[in-house]
Amino acid sequence: MRTRVRTPGQNGSRERGFGTLKYERLFLDEIPDALTLVERAEDYRTEYNTVRPHEAIAWNRPMDVHLGLADPTIPNFEREETLPTT
């Protein structure tokens, strides 16, 4: 990934993403080989883009915004229906 020219704010976002990758996937235990490293990084990338909601895009998931399924300015929360108990 590259950041746009004259947009230093993007660099911090990228660095934060790499930090999260390291602490949530790579520093958990010993990684025996390059293939395991690639698997863990790919698992994180998939989760980051398809599972995790992002504050910067109104708590939507990046893949949903990219595919036009969600508006990056309107939250699209999944709401649990609470039914009365009596």
One digit per residue, the tens of pLDDT, for the chain of length 86 reads 566 777 777 777 778 878 888 888 888 889 999 999 999 999 999 999 999 999 889 999 999 999 999 999 999 877 777 778 87
Domain span at 60:
14-66
Judging by beta carbons within 10 Å of its beta carbon (0-12, 13-18, 19+), is residue 70 exposed, middle or buried? buried
Residue 41 placed within a domain: yes
Inside any domain, residue 74 = no
Count of domains in the chain? 1
Does 54 reside within a domain?
yes
In a domain, 81, yes or no: no
Q: Could you tell me the pTM of the whole model?
A: 0.68
34 belongs to a structural domain: yes
Rg for the chain, CA atoms, rounded: 17
Residue 79 falls inside a structural domain = no
